[in-house]
Structure 1
């Protein structure tokens, strides 16, 4: 394979056709169904799919076909199916991305807007540029570069869904629907994550699971003057505090339920230590002046964020605004509890353990109700095959000029668990060009164009390495 031809093709497309088409994609307000209940009528998701499909159809990929798959009542899915080149292997490569977007989410900086593509200082600004519109363009560009350079690749299916920002509720149905057609999968390339900087190739090797629910504690039918009731009836807030103390140590933040915890695998601990030794640190946070992080050791901070369970109270009802609060013993308090779970923990079992802790032997026999419980498992990458590790080493040296990095991520991406179950024998490359400050879900989202070109070049090399791997 001609490495120079790969690089030249990638950079030519990202400087021209790919960037122009992705810019037009930014202008489409393709909100995920969670943010546009009328998506089937507004058809912005369909517009996004049609736009990207048109660009894919124009790529000179021999034998390639595109198709929009739309099961009844579900969001559309775009497929690019590219026959194998230079290999007769039976395995398929699946490359994943998504075309749905988050909403504007507040005021953007002057001259920028969610649906206004702007190229400035090597960045493409606009909603969906980096999360995750670039993915389909990067996949097709990598394949085009391989063909231009005489490289090889297995049959490759680029799968672009339109419900990821809503938790991928339709993806399982599509994977089941397409299972026979896609066949055995040997490699999954997921282009939807972020790294620690814009200098190296970053691979995500784990993602946390999640469980959340609403818990309401009720002690009175109606509010009562606190002078009449305090000291006689325990406040609903006090009962909730005691219940939460069963789950979380309020001093250390350690989760006390064994169903929510696990040992950190040795290889993941080694990754964290290696990343810290190379200078990696958690991304800076907008801390209030004088506030300290929970630990001074960066290794412990990263493990807290990737392999240890945490509880966040993300919402509350029953508490009036301070300015409106009178001397009343309130009848009830509701909290929304959000648990981030270690990647290998059974999220369903964890949620059941939380529900038991909240509803068993309740102080003062207060009424406790659970509502809207949900859980999703995390993901832990399978052991890395020798061919993939060798290929990553080559990519690090030849494309980025520095070693690749592996790290777990603290977020939850349900589709990776779906892929792991659907393709249990596959190797996983979970990567992307996003990094610190890219603001994927908030104002001023942007895509780092140079890093995007490098990641695209890396994907081309990894597809070639997969096709030429022994066995």
Structure 2
């Protein structure tokens, strides 16, 4: 039986307007932060409230042949684990669909008037709120895609759907679940991940690579007690100045160049894809950001900017301790300075090696004999997608043209989805990694939103691609 494209469009529009948006809005309003950012996640009830909401919605959809259960391992965030049995009778394959339900911290004070991270607001065809696009919608889109096939009586594959609760913390709790339920997962022929991004809202974007990530606390300590800066300055070296020196070992503060030991050789075909992507996106690559006054990008070379974002390592300081607020900053030589260092790693770089390199660079031969420590708290390797098989490449192009009217595009992402690397190492699967995080959508930041018209078309594409995979002999 052939898929009716017009019915797919009608289904997606109705599903989003009447079925997805109401419950997704409820989900947005639950402050269930990822475990790395909420030490009380296991007792404050937010994670439990979110996962119960999602499970209740899933069970109400009437998916035939489905078993759905909240799985728990003591001390770990729970997951939703679903199996939908195939309706095909021959050449049955398993498709693994993945998303997450945990959220980044809210940054409450930075949101525009009328918006709030835990308030769902629909405005100008956008749904605002923390976690809607990253990645609460994935549960709804995955189930609705299967529901659409069943409504048209389209024979489909066996589906395993996993919604985890620690992705924003580096998927620290997921490996134990994968091990425990390996027999039920089986060997996926295709992995569909809806936790990624898009370069614009005009066509289907397929993620070709993801950078790895490593974070940790870098501390420089020089004194046991704080003292008068007039007495100590010029004698006691500032912990902040020493911090600048050791950071400069990894990242040149003038050029931004990162130590060569953290680089990899970029495959030529990826460079070709990057150049094509840069040509399509143009200045959107940097225009999407909310620049302050005259600030501008590192370079206006668009291809280089995309290389920087997707295949070069980078360093960000995302937090600090030991620094009083400016309104309470006396003339004091502080005992120490601590910063949270976040390092993005090339897709093919092993995160375990990066940790050793960074620790050596930061801690060896400390200036003035100061105590310098780097305590790693999160790491995950990146991912470089395997080559797409011809049938799937054809289906991606057809889906993008049918529902967007333009060809699909491959784009590397600067962020991380640790589960993709884990799956790639385990299974010889095909991957469709895509998502709603497009220009100005600002995942993790203020005013996070998802573009509703784009989301409707993306659901159509997922339905089409699941059908194309099922029909491939």
| Matches of 2:308 and 2:447, distance apart in 1 | 28
2:413 matched residue in structure 1: 409
| Matches of 1:202 and 1:334, distance apart in 2 | 39
Q: 1:84 aligns with which of 78, 83, 86?
A: 86
- Larger deviation, residues 184-193 vs 47-56: 47-56
- Give unmatched runs, 5+ long, in structure 2: none
Contact 1:309 / 1:340 at 8 angstroms: preserved in 2? yes
- Larger deviation, residues 442-451 vs 403-412: 442-451
Contact 1:203 / 1:430 at 8 angstroms: preserved in 2? yes
Q: 2:253 aligns with which of 250, 253, 256?
A: 250
2:131 matched residue in structure 1: 128
1:352 equivalenced with 2:356 (yes/no): yes
| Matches of 1:331 and 1:39, distance apart in 2 | 32
1:178 equivalenced with 2:150 (yes/no): no
How many residues align structurally?
A: 468
Shift of 1:349: 0.9
- Larger deviation, residues 102-111 vs 429-438: 102-111
Matches within 5 A, 1:17-416: 17-107=19-109, 108-222=111-225, 234-258=237-261, 260-280=262-282, 281-283=284-286, 284-319=288-323, 330-416=334-420
Local SS of the residue matching 2:42: helix
Structure 1 residues 241, 58: CA separation in 2 closer, same or farther (over 3 Å shift)? Answer: closer
Shift of 1:398: 1.0
| Matches of 2:448 and 2:226, distance apart in 1 | 45
Contact 2:320 / 2:337 at 8 angstroms: preserved in 1? yes
| Matches of 2:217 and 2:161, distance apart in 1 | 38
Contact 2:47 / 2:102 at 8 angstroms: preserved in 1? yes
Structure 1 residues 55, 217: CA separation in 2 closer, same or farther (over 3 Å shift)? Answer: closer
| Matches of 1:296 and 1:429, distance apart in 2 | 31
- Larger deviation, residues 202-211 vs 141-150: 141-150
Shift of 1:36: 4.0
TM-score, scaled relative to structure 2: 0.90
| Matches of 1:440 and 1:334, distance apart in 2 | 26
Local SS of the residue matching 1:335: strand
Shift of 1:263: 1.2
Shift of 1:402: 0.3
| Matches of 1:319 and 1:26, distance apart in 2 | 33
1:264-323 CA distance string (max 9 Å, x none): 122221111111222344243233322232112011111111111112233444455566
Local SS of the residue matching 1:288: coil
Structure 1 residues 368, 136: CA separation in 2 closer, same or farther (over 3 Å shift)? Answer: closer
Structure 1 residues 19, 371: CA separation in 2 closer, same or farther (over 3 Å shift)? Answer: closer
- Give unmatched runs, 5+ long, in structure 1: none
1:348-378 CA distance string (max 9 Å, x none): 1112112112232334433323334542211
Local SS of the residue matching 1:205: strand
Contact 1:87 / 1:154 at 8 angstroms: preserved in 2? no
